[in-house]
Amino acid sequence: MTHNRLIKNAAKNAVYIAVVICVTLAVWAIAAAAIGSELVLPDVGETFKELGRMLKRRAFYSALGGTLIRSAIGYAVSVALAFLLFYLSSAFKTAEGLIRPVVSLLRTLPTMAVSLILVIWAGANAAPAILGVLVIAPSVYSSLMASTASVPKELTEVARLCGAGKTKTFWYVTLPTAAAELPETLSSALSFTVKIVIAAEILSQTSKSLGILMAQAQTYYMTATLIALVAAAVVVSVVLEYVLRGVLRLALVRFSDR
């Protein structure tokens, strides 16, 4: 995949996003006019005014910063843990047999219930980041394992017969096979981490977070403020996802061309 093709794909995605936004705003305006209640569904103009007022408040940026820090910590630990487990599973069959059941168990845990338990164990500030790790790490690990399922066993055996140890075989055979899927896997995981962290913040009542602002807006029926906060969270998540995807595609373009 060339750089020109990457640029064309980015432009095409931007057009799709613009179309989706326009359609969403049109449907929103029609629905708000039909309902006729600012408490249930405020009109587009009032919500954007509230968004503008919110962007002028220092408390919003403090909350956004807190959420992004928790998301960054949770994401970094998740990716590091997922790659460690991926390496162990690829290099040692015994390790894979032990890791897979644990990952399957983690993926079946009721997320919100676990969040409440984590508040008791770790506190409201740490719980969202820990929940992010418990949800994202198994997901990234499973995606990495699936992306290398088609690697012929003969190829790894040849590498080892040529003197490559487990680490070199993983680095030069297994990992390049997964490289094509990394931009999508890791960028989607980042935006999903932000969503998980915010949801946990709402339940945990975490101070200096977007989650607590949303919970307060819902408590006092400040619908326009709540929608504005959700919109801000969506925009941040989408921007982070697309930026990371673009950076990874450029960084890994030599693997995609193979």
Q: Is residue 201 part of a domain?
A: yes
Count of structural domains within the chain: 1
Q: Looking at the domain assignment, is residue 42 inside a domain?
A: no
- Structural domain for 174, as ranges: 58-256
pLDDT tens column, 116-141: 999 999 999 999 999 999 999 999 99
Task: Report if residue 214 sits inside a domain.
Answer: yes
Cβ contacts of residue 253 below 8 Å, gap of 6+? Answer: 1, 2, 3, 6
In a domain, 2, yes or no: no
How does pLDDT run across 38-96, given as a tens digit for each residue? 889 999 999 999 999 999 999 999 999 999 999 999 999 999 999 999 999 988 889 99
Ramachandran quadrant class, 251 (left: phi over 0; alpha: psi -120 to 50; beta: rest) = alpha
In a domain, 196, yes or no: yes
Query: What percentage of residues in the chain have a pLDDT greater than 70?
Result: 89
**Alpha helix locations (H) across the chain?**
3-35, 44-54, 58-91, 93-108, 111-122, 127-147, 153-161, 166-169, 175-179, 182-204, 210-219, 223-251, 253-256
- Stretch 181-193: mean pLDDT: 94
What pLDDT, in 10s, does the model give residues 17-35?
889 889 999 999 999 999 9
In this structure, is residue 49 part of a structural domain? no
| CATH number of the domain encompassing residue 71 | 1.10.3720.10
Kindly state whether residue 4 falls inside one of the protein's structural domains.
Answer: no
**Within-domain flag for 194:** yes
